Amino acid sequence: MDVTRIIAIRHGETAWNVDTRIQGQLDIPLNDTGRWQAERLARALAAREAIDVVYTSDLLRAWETARPVAAATGAPLHTDEGLRERGFGSFQGKTFTEIEAAMPDEARRWRQRDPFWAPPGGESLTAMRRRVIETLHALASRHVGEQIASLAVDLAAIHRDPFDRMIIATTLIHDANLISLDGVFHHYPELQDRLLA
C-alpha cells in the first residue's frame, strides 16, 4: 500500500501565545520569535525532508509559518479551513485568568476537558477532532504516496491526557491507514511504542 506521510506542524509563536490569550479562530500574526521559528523550521525541513505539498490553515499565523516552508522546499502551498484551530467562541481574545474570572463555570468545564462540551459559541473537542480527521483523510487521499507538511491545529494537543492522545493517534492510524503521525510521535515518543507494538 502506498502511504501518505503527513508531517504535522504547529504554527510559530504569536504575541497572544506569550500572553496566554486564547486565539482560537481569530486571525493573529506571528511575532518576531514566531517568524524566526518559521525560518528555522523551513531550513530544517528543506535539508532533511522531501516535501511534495504544504497545506495550511487559512489563519495568518499558520500561513506565515507555512510560507517559508513552501519557499524553502519548493512545494506548492494551499490553504484549507478544515485545518483551523479549535473555535473557542466567547473564550477567544481572553487570557486564562480573564476566562476564570468572568466565566468560572465554563472555565471549570474547559479544564475538565470534557470532549463533548463547547465554550459558548465555540466548538467541542469532538467536533474539532472530526473536522480535522476528515480534512486529513481528504488530503491523504489526494496525495497517495506523497509527503505533506500540514500547518494546523496541534494534533497532539487535542487532548492533554496521554491516553486520549493515544486514542486520537490510533484512530488516525487505523481509520486512515495512510497517515503517519510523526509530529505526535516526536513530541510523545511513549505513544509510538504503545500504539505500534
| Mean pLDDT computed over 47-53 | 91
Of 19, 175, 178, 146, the C-alpha closest to 78 is 146
Cell of 182: 510523526
Q: Which of 11, 13, 64, 137 is catalytic?
A: 11
pTM of the model: 0.79
What integer pLDDT is reported at residue 154 of this predicted model? Answer: 57
Q: Which of 13, 85, 106, 123 is catalytic?
A: 85
Are 54 and 77 spatial neighbours (Cβ–Cβ below 8 Å)?
Answer: yes
Read off the amino acid at residue 9.
I
Residue 103 confidence (pLDDT) above 90: yes
What integer pLDDT is reported at residue 2 of this predicted model? Answer: 76
Whether residue 85 lies in the annotated active site: yes
Residue ranges and CATH numbers for the domains of the chain are: 4-196 (3.40.50.1240)
Distance separating alpha carbons of residues 195 and 62, to the nearest angstrom: 29
Residue-wise pLDDT for 24-35, tens only, equals: 999 999 999 999
What integer pLDDT is reported at residue 155 of this predicted model? Answer: 57
What integer pLDDT is reported at residue 152 of this predicted model? Answer: 73
What integer pLDDT is reported at residue 77 of this predicted model? Answer: 98
Rg of the chain's alpha carbons, rounded to an integer?
17
| Average pLDDT of the chain to the nearest whole number | 80
Residue-wise pLDDT for 151-178, tens only, equals: 876 555 544 444 344 334 433 433 333 3
Tabulate helix, strand, coil % of the chain (nearest 5): 55, 10, 35
Burial of 73-107, coded b for 16+ CB within 10 Å and e otherwise, reads bebebbbbebbbbbbbbbbbebeeeebeeebeebb
Whether residue 64 lies in the annotated active site: no
